Amino acid sequence: MKNFLFRLYLRLMKLGASLTKINQKHLVILNGAGRSGSNGYLFAKYMRANHPEYDVTVVEPWPSSHLSFKTWRKIGRAKFVLTTHSPFKVHAKQVNIQFWHGIPLKRMGIMANNTTSRADWRNAKLWQKNTDLVCSSSDLYETLMSACTAVEAAKYHKVGFPRLDALSRPVISKDQLLQDLFKQRDEQAQIVIYMPTFRYELADQEVMAQISAGNFLTLPDFAAARLNESLRINHQYLIVKLHPYELSLIGDLNSHFSNISFLNNDYLTEHDADLYELLGSTDSLITDFSSVYFDYLNLDKPIIFVTNYLKQYEQERGLLLGPYDRVVPGSCVKTQAELVHALAAPDKYQTQRKYWLDLTNQVHSDSYCADIFNLMIQKGEEDKL
């Protein structure tokens, strides 16, 4: 019933917004990605810095039933509607550019184990109806996305993603991260960032209970003091970036350990930054089933994969690629002891990282944002003919 009412709300708002005259110099970004590798937010920053002749509106959070009609009129006025999640536009004269928010590893849409066929095909029809251009990085990306959304090949354009510009040009330095998050200065410092996927999808209250108790790694032998001591000895500093829902479970985000610090959206907002604008300043990544690792391959730095809930995740939602240990270019660990060992071990996965980078990113550019802008302008000119 709730979903039905929200769809009805969207229809009514679209009807009202469609009466607004389109402005060729206005674009709206419907950002559902927050500050965690948000293509929409980062493209807006690029546009405001490089193309002030355009009126740029960022709508967030999206979707929302709490938007003013003034905002809806801005959506209706935009010639270009750029989205980070499901494609959307008010009427046919608009151009929808689909950024999406990551190279998919987890199953979604018509491929997911935990969705209904009716909802899946409704969403697939939205992709068919509303999407005009889909930003892409590789043939593999297009295959994975179409498997889940059924969007046709002609709509893909290999122009890369705004988040990759931010990844290669961090605005928050390593020294600043050490000072801001750890109150440390250390010439030997190695910054490790932990970015798991949204584990609420496991539908396992035990996992949420572990996080609430402070076991942010959800490992069976978790001991924060021992972990911190190992990090300290090896000059390693662990940044923990959880989903906002999981952060809310922990409550006290002030780490009591010298080499462990939680990163929340407040820090990013204070610095007017996206997560990817500091990710390039880290030295290694720990993740599980998050697609962030595909982007991190561009940095050619070590990645460690926590797999103690792999079987459960494969059953609950499913993965698009497998076997998992053949897909991921890094050590797979199931315990804290294995994690500590992997953090101290020499890197031996560079060849595998290069292999997967070549498969997932065939686009190399000095500015992905500029390439996307040029594509947008080209499409706008074609529409005038």
**pLDDT surpasses 80 at 154:** yes
Q: Whole-model pTM?
A: 0.93
- Bridge partners (DSSP) of residue 28 are 57, 81
Q: Which CATH class is domain 166-360?
A: alpha beta
Residue 10 scores a pLDDT above 90: no
DSSP state of 365: -
Residue 54's pLDDT band, with cuts at 50, 70 and 90, is very high
**When comparing pLDDT for 204 and 176, which is higher?**
176
pLDDT band at 249 (very low <50, low <70, confident <90, very high): confident
C-alpha 87/C-alpha 128 separation (Å) is 9
Q: Are 306 and 221 in contact (CB under 8 A)?
A: no
Q: How many CB atoms lie within 10 A of CB 24?
A: 13
What is the reported pLDDT for 109? 92
What percent of the chain has pLDDT above 90? Answer: 73
Q: What is the CATH number of domain 9-160+366-384?
A: 3.40.50.11820
The domain segmentation of the chain, as residue ranges, is 9-160+366-384, 166-360
Residue 192's nearest CA partner among 168, 210, 174, 207 is: 174
Model confidence pLDDT, tens digit, residues 84-107: 999 999 988 999 999 999 999 999
Evaluate the CA torsion angle 99, 101, 102, 103 in order and state its sign.
negative
Residue 220 confidence (pLDDT) above 60 = yes
pLDDT at 66: 84
Write the pLDDT tens digit of every residue in 262-288: 998 889 999 999 999 999 999 999 999
Nearest-angstrom CA–CA distance, 167 and 289 = 20
Task: Please tell me the least confidently modeled range out of 17-26, 53-62, 230-239.
Answer: 17-26
State which amino acid sits at residue 187. Answer: E
Task: Output the pLDDT for position 385.
Answer: 58
Closest CA to 43 of 381, 384, 378, 375: 375
Q: How far apart are CA 56 and CA 292, in angstroms?
A: 27
Instruction: Check if 9-160+366-384 and 166-360 are the same fold.
Output: yes
- d(CA 304, CA 347) in angstroms, rounded, equals 10
Q: Is the pLDDT of residue 252 over 80?
A: no
What are the pLDDT digits (tens) for 109-119? 999 998 899 98
Give me the chain's average pLDDT, please.
92
